[in-house]
Amino acid sequence: MLVQNIPNLSPVSQSQSVSSTSVISPAAPLHVAIICDGNGRWATTQGLTRTEGHRAGAETARRVIRCAPHLGVGTLTMFTLSSANWARPAAEVDGILRILYEYLMVETSHCLDEGIRLSVIGRRDRLSPTLREAIIESEALTAKGRKLHLRLAVDYSARQSIFQAASKFYKVTDLTSEAFGSVLSEVMRGGSTDVDLLVRTGGEQRISDFLLWECAFAELVFLEKRWPDFTPSDLKNAIGEFQKRERTRGALPSECS
């Protein structure tokens, strides 16, 4: 069962936040996706349980979410729970879902106040009724947020999403990639837009069935740092790396100017 008693959560420290007066580059990535990897390994090095590592990761997520709009990010998608993660011990998966429930209970009001729209993409049939209700309520309350679109990928598989979209697509008469993208957006509930920058922490260099369609032209940044150690400054640096790259989408540089 999901926890009902929600503990007090520490606020963002000034040393780890990014000033709201940060200069926003016109070349900032509009859609940033993050594979938040390394919670369990971080916990092991700290002598903690893996669930405690996921809780530390949730605190990192709070800090990153709060700084993202000040860095010019319009959409932030975070890989919270992969469909493949059900293969892990039940206690760990339940711990992740408990933390997600706590986040929704505590942070929905903050998202509402800050103009953050919250969406959850992925399957919901394997989630508890309590968590499903919390997701629906959070999405409804924050639906008008325009400052940032925060998407949490829960029980998510890009292959499964594409398969679901393909299963519906055969009924569509407009057989174009744009039309398929629209069907995929419908399947994913929270909408679907191209990812500009994909960041993965934890030292691995793969995208692990995450936003395969949307990442077709994404710039990739892989970091050794594990997710609980990730800071708003690391996101700022990743965006700085993104801004240095020449994005041609297959064309010649002169044709993109």
The pLDDT value given to residue 6 = 38
Q: Where are the domains of the chain?
A: 30-244
pLDDT in tens, the chain (257 residues): 343 343 333 333 433 444 433 444 447 889 999 999 999 999 999 999 999 999 999 999 999 999 999 999 999 999 999 999 999 999 999 999 999 999 999 999 999 999 999 999 999 999 999 999 999 999 999 999 999 999 999 999 998 888 887 777 666 666 677 777 777 777 666 667 899 999 999 999 999 999 998 999 999 999 999 999 999 999 999 999 999 988 876 676 666 55
Q: Cα separation of 144 and 140, whole Å? A: 8
Confidence (pTM): 0.83
- Which architecture characterizes domain 30-244 according to CATH? 3-Layer(aba) Sandwich (3.40)
The catalytic site residues sit at 37, 85
Degrees to nearest 5, angle at CA 80 with 73 and 98: 125
Degrees to nearest 5, angle at CA 158 with 152 and 163: 130
Does residue 31 contact residue 74 with C-beta atoms inside 8 Å? yes
